[in-house]
Structure 1
Amino acid sequence: MARTPYHEARPLTEDRRNFILFAVIAALILFGWPVLQTRLFPAANPPVSKVVAGKSQALPQPQADPTADSPAALRDRAQVLAETPRVRIETPKLRGSINLRGARIDDLVLVNYKETIARNSAPIRLLSPGGTRDAYFAGFGWRGEGLAPPAPDTVWRASGPVLRPGSPVTLDATGGDGQRFRIRLSVDEGYLFDVRQTVLNAGPRPVSVASYGFVNRTAPSVDADTWTIHVGPMSAHNDRADYDVDYDDLAEDGPQRFTSTGGWLGFSDLYWLTAIVPDQARGFDGQFRAGPNKSFQADYTAAPRALAPGQAVTQGSRFFAGAKEVALLDRYTDRQGIAKLDYAIDWGWFRVFEKPIFYYLDWLFRVVGNFGVAIILLTVTFRLLLFPIAQRQFASMAKMRAIQPKMKAIQERWKDDKARMQQEVMGLYKTEKVNPLAGCLPTLLQIPIFYALYKVLMLTIEMRHQPFVAWIKDLSAPDPLTPVNLFGLLPFTPPTFIGIGVVPILLGVSMYFQFKLNPQPVDETQKQVFAILPWVLMFVMAPFAVGLQVYWITSNILQIGQQRLLYARHPELKIAAAK
């Protein structure tokens, strides 16, 4: 029977409707993704990542709220450092000083890390003294009934001018009632300070003694706190890592407290960490608090002990201040017994994949000396491991396309009987020996690998500021070279969602050719979807780290090679897919 005009027009109308629907979805992905991404997946590290500036000054007692300097009281850092006597800190990784007024560690620079990739960039400054705009410091002291500790502005006496690994420094001060106080500080080759606090009760009455420690900082970090990567107040207590507290919680809900034996607490940026570590064998009370002008404090108080006249007591703690280097945090956790300090890096749910991938990637880097090349070798490794599965995937995809006409016939014949249609389709799969799920397996296996690599590139300090080739100076940042401003010749920086770099463009091209080699869909709407999908994903991936894009491009190229190899070995699959 001849088709009526209605029958001729209906498929065209459905195709147009489907295409319009896809265009709307693509537009939502293109323009809505940057907003969603900033909340769930921080795209890439900016060229500069450092401790944020702010205004803060803390009272040393942990039970006192952190306070802040008024803008008029803030001074230049060099001026503030010159106002008080100090003990220098010199280690292979740290430079700075200890403020003898108040016995604070408040001046610390990480000599191995720069603020930017520029050659003349200053090193990362982690700690700064109170009275400066970027105040961030740690201190230790005592509290207890009948105890008269030194005042916050007491100038302590130092046993030496410099604190170095293997060369500790002892600070002494006298309190009320003849009580004497001592802090013995030592530091290792990394970022860990050992703090031994001693009180001698030379008075006539027994006293209660409880040591405490605090770290106080200014406004929240400039690094984004997202669903996938936690930045902000962080602790480990009662045998678990706690990522649930953020700066807004402290400002809105008040202090967050806990009691534990073993653990630590402090503040985490994306790459840097300050953590006070009480004696791991003794109980302590920990808390996070907010103060005026967006200042924040983490502090602990150890369990009190009675101290009779003429007796002395020593209580130990440690202080970590530095970069979150994976191997170093693992060593402090395993060998120094600091419970879950390695959890300061928010590996998340895929920790079991991410850490082995990091260590393998780091080993490749040490072998070849270039992280970009190491990422390529990592990709080759994964593709080789998945090669047998991928070959079955390609064969299954080609067979599925080859039986499309038979499936269409079944759908037309049994369109009014869905149960019979499903039964006939399953029979067709069995007869043709086709598994419709086989093509999904390699993709599913790559999801945890891809996400793990994303977390490794975003989290680990070892990837920060690592160059690749030519203009790619930082694999953990987006591609800075874009044709939108004629590769930097025009003096403006385009918005992120249109500033597509060269590497994302290469990613889109590689995906285009990969899709072209795949068996083509029978449905016209699906063809249109696959034709535009590479360029949509190009925009989606543009803000991500170049290292992630290098992984994807390499994977696409290897997949194209695998498809060509499959069709060369089995030409009947290519012919069937083409038909």
Structure 2
Amino acid sequence: MENSRNFVLVLTLSLAILIGFQWVSDYLYPQPEEAPAATGNVDTPAEQAAAANAGTVSGAAARVDLDSALASEGRVRIDSPKVAGSINLADAMIDDIVLKDYAASPDKDSGPVRIFAPRGTEVEQYAQLSVLVNGAKLPDVTQWEADGDVLTPENPVTLSYDAGNGVLLEQTYSIDENYMITVAQAISNTSDVPVVAQPYGIVGRTSTTASDDFFIAHSGPIGSFDEAVEYGYDYDNVEEDRKVSPSGAVDWIGFTDIYWLAALVPASGSAPDATFHSLGGDRYSAEMRYDPVTIPAGRKITTTTQLFAGAKESEILDAYQDAGIPQFGLAIDWGWFRWFEKPFLWLLTNIFELVGNFGVAIIILTIIVRGLMFPVAQKQFASMAAMKAIQPEMKKLQEKYKDDRLKQQQEMQALFKREKVNPLAGCLPLILQIPIFFALYKVLYLAIEMRHQDFLYIKDLSAPDPATVLNLFGLLPFDPPGFLAIGILAVLLGFTMWLTFKLNPSAMDPVQQQIFNIMPWVLMFIMAPFAAGLLLYWVTSNVLTLAQQKYLYSKHPALKAAAEKEKAEKAAAAAKAGN
């Protein structure tokens, strides 16, 4: 009867954890809602305040059609090996960027992924370099002139604008072979009196299309300040405070998704003010404002700012860091174990190049890592076997010196020394394995290389398993909601973990045993919404654990026999107590 009550208690707690996990996930990481209908073309008070404070361009509160916005005349086309898009000559706005190497969806006809779109569109994200003249921003609509039609790595383009009162503005755009746009802002004073100019740059975006900010990887406002990357800000922080001013000199600032980054990099040796702003209506800006400069009559100043707008490919980010942008490689939220993670990523991508399938590469990488850790597991089992062998002696000492704990500890230490047994040796290998396996797990979560890669029936390993139990593993045309979407890999995860616990002869009391019996199926529900590639790694790891476990117990039969005996004794004692 007692065991039945315990079982009901464990089951109730497990269901509470499962439902609570889903509720917390939905609360902390809500799915983007439909964009609200347009209500007008006037800025909200929050937008006007932010614009006045940071020199941003007003307007664009109304929802507009993407195709119509991009079809407008007066655009300079961008065409580089990895980037396509255009610069809007109205306000000199970079608001059209797609990435040639990345598709919007696994569908071959989906077209490239879009990371920049004009203000007011459903997926708006944009960048602008401009200037305050004598403390005033330029008119709400400025029409710039270009000396070329296409911006390419071989062909820079200069935009010019007459700001009046003898102030002439020029912006020379150049782009490299990857994702970096460099803008040289030249301000000429042709008047007879000095002019005070203050260049600034902004990256603006909507949060409705942002990827989830998860504990394992940051998504949202980001930047490096005094050569330390700040992952602590999210859109809610900025919304609540309206304006966030990070401390320290800015190295770069912008917004990140799991796979994409838009960031401004200031001119070398400068110290601009950097802030994040909430503009209202799920719209935000990351802004950089240089110190005001007095330009004497007949003189010109030039400020050079860089804009990164592209994919978070580790090698490319590291190359920019090596070229002088502090901590740029850490735009990928590697965390504490990046010294393990980057070699894992390098190995994974090289295996992928050899075998041609990312799922197979994940399996091979997991096998390699488990193989390298096998000597550690052997040492752990040997230590466990040694401890089991001296267990009778330990019990005698515990009984003999039960009233003198100090003497008991001294005799125990003498026993360990005499038998050459280290009681911590069984724990240390496990502690060593935890960061390694977590690092591998995080690599798979962060690796853009896994995006849209297929494996067997799965079209995208970076997305949840599409073949779930409730849609008969893909036969029925609908997607079950939330944690009910239990896919094939999630079922295999639960089953292999259950087998791992089942084959482990560790002695546990009945309540612990019931918890370990239910835990795999609870984890099955919890892990089901995760990327299929992560589940493939975990299932592979569980299978290897089973094989390793059976092999090592075959090499240490006394260990298994002793554990089975102790387990049977505890079960008998529990049954006797229940009666």
- Structure 1 residue 549 and structure 2 residue 538: aligned? no
* Paired residue type of 1:519: P
**Matched residue SS, 1:197:** strand
Return the alpha-carbon distance in structure 2 between the equivalents of residues 418 and 260 of structure 1.
54
Q: Deviations over 1:285-339 (max 9, x none)?
A: 122212232322222121222211111111111111111111111111111x122
SS at match of 2:87: strand
Which whole-Å deviations, capped at 9, do the CAs of 1:267-300 have from their partners, x for residues lacking one? 1122211111110211211222122323222221
Q: Deviations over 1:496-536 (max 9, x none)?
A: 32322111222223223333432342644444444333333
> Which residue in 2 is equivalent to 1:134?
123
Q: Post-superposition shift, 1:108?
A: 1.3
1:312–1:467 Cα change, 3 Å: same
State the shift of 1:460 in Å.
2.9
Q: Does 2:456 match 1:473?
A: no
Any stretches of 5+ residues in structure 1 without a counterpart? Answer: 1-11
2:497 is aligned with 1:497: no
**Partner amino acid, structure 2, of 1:289:** H
| 1:39–1:475 CA distance, 2 compared to 1 (3 A) | farther
- Could you say if the C-alpha distance between residues 155 and 489 of structure 1 is closer, same or farther in structure 2, counting changes exceeding 3 Å? same
Determine the structure 2 residue equivalent to 1:7: none
1:369 aligns to 2:356 (yes or no): yes
Contact 1:368–1:374 at 8 Å: present in 2 too?
yes
1:457-491 CA distance string (max 9 Å, x none): 222322222222x1122222222212233213344
Return the offset for 1:431.
7.2
Equivalent position SS for 1:485: coil
Partner of 1:310: 298
Give the SS at the match of 2:236.
helix
- Given the superposition, is the C-alpha separation of residues 258 and 493 from structure 1 closer, same or farther in structure 2, using an over 3 Å criterion? closer
1:545 deviates by 2.3
CA contact (8 A) 1:67 1:295 kept: no
Structure 2 contact 7–514 (Cα < 8 Å) conserved: yes
Letter of the 1:368 counterpart: V
Give 1:559-578 correspondences, 5 Å limit.
559-578=545-564
* Number of residue pairs matched by the alignment: 557
Residues 421 and 104 of structure 1, relative CA distance in 2, 3 Å threshold: same
Change (3 A) 1:62 1:319: farther
* Distance in structure 2 (CA, Å) of the matches to 1:35 and 1:418: 47
Aligned mate of 1:342, from 309, 316, 329: 329
Residue number in structure 2 paired with 1:453: 440
* Cα pair distance change 1:19/1:409, threshold 3 Å: farther
Residue identity (%): 46
Inter-CA distance 532–435: structure 2 relative to 1 (3 Å threshold): farther
**Alpha-carbon separation, structure 1, partners of 2:335 and 2:258:** 14
- Equivalence for 1:8: none
For 1:416 and 1:377, locate their aligned partners in 2 and report how far apart those are by CA, in whole Å: 55
- 1:24-45 Cα distance to aligned partner (Å, 9 max, x none): 44333333333455678x89xx
1:385 partnered with 2:376: no
State which drifts further: 56-65 or 209-218: 56-65
Equivalent residue, structure 2, for 1:6: none
CA contact (8 A) 1:150 1:173 kept: no
Relative to structure 1, the CA distance from residue 261 to residue 414 in structure 2 (aligned partners, 3 Å threshold; closer, same or farther) is: closer
1-structure distance, mates of 2:325, 2:547: 48
Change over 3 Å in CA distance of 1:552–1:225 after alignment to 2:
closer
SS of residue in 1 equivalent to 2:272: strand
- What whole-Å deviation, never above 9, does each CA across 1:246-283 have from its counterpart, x for those lacking one? 22222222222257555111111222111111102112
The separation in 2 between residues aligned to 1:79 and 1:221, in whole angstroms, is 20
- Among 229, 235, 240, the residue aligned to 2:228: 240
Question: Residue 364 of structure 1: CA displacement?
Answer: 2.3
Q: 1:387 to 1:374 in 2, by over 3 A?
A: same
Query: Which residue is equivalent to 2:568?
Result: none
Q: How far apart are the structure 2 equivalents of 1:257 and 1:565? A: 57
Of 378, 381, 401, the match for 1:394: 381
The answer to whether the 8 A contact 2:81-2:178 is kept is yes
Whether the aligned pair in 1 keeps the contact of 2:205 and 2:285 (CA below 8 Å) is: yes
Alignment of 1:198-277 (within 5 A): 198-258=186-246, 261-277=249-265
Shift of 1:573: 4.1
* Bigger mean CA deviation after superposition, 418-427 or 202-211: 418-427
Mean Cα deviation higher: 498-507 or 561-570: 561-570
Matched with 1:463 is 450
Task: Find the aligned partners of 2:143 and 2:506 in 1 and give their Cα distance.
Answer: 78
3-state SS of paired residue (1:349) = coil
Report matched runs for 1:387-536 at 5 Å: 387-398=374-385, 435-468=422-455, 470-521=456-507, 523-536=509-522
Give me the TM-score of the superposition, normalised by structure 2: 0.85
TM-score, normalising length: structure 1: 0.85
Q: Give the aligned partner of residue 79 of structure 1.
A: 68
The residue number in structure 1 matching 2:286 is: 298
CA contact (8 A) 1:26 1:536 kept: yes
Task: Specify the alignment match of 2:575 in structure 1.
Answer: none
The one-letter code sitting in structure 1 at the alignment partner of 2:126 is F
Tell me the distance in 2 between the aligned counterparts of 1:248 and 1:300: 21
Moved more, 158-167 or 217-226: 217-226
Structure-2 change in CA distance of 1:180 and 1:69 (3 Å)? closer
| Separation in 2, partners of 1:371, 1:477 | 13
Q: Could you give the per-residue CA deviations for residues 214-241 of structure 1, whole angstroms, max 9, x where no partner exists? A: 1222345432223443222212222222
Q: Tell me how far 1:196 sits from its aligned partner.
A: 0.6
Deviations 1:124-167 (A, max 9, x none): 2111223433332211122242x888534232121111111111
Q: In 2, distance between residues paired with 1:325 and 1:381?
A: 24
Q: State the shift of 1:378 in Å.
A: 2.0
Give, in angstroms, the shift of residue 437 of structure 1. 3.7
- Secondary structure of the residue aligned to 1:504 is helix
Q: Is the 8 A contact 1:62 1:212 kept in 2?
A: no
Evaluate the alpha carbon distance shift between residue 524 and residue 139 of structure 1 in structure 2; reply closer, same or farther with a 3 A threshold: closer
Counterpart of 1:329 in structure 2 is 317
Q: Residue in 2 aligned with 1:160? A: 148
Q: Does the 8 Å CA contact 1:62/1:213 hold for their aligned counterparts? A: no
2:80 corresponds in structure 1 to 91
Q: Aligned partner of 2:504: which letter?
A: N
Separation in 2, partners of 1:29, 1:149: 54
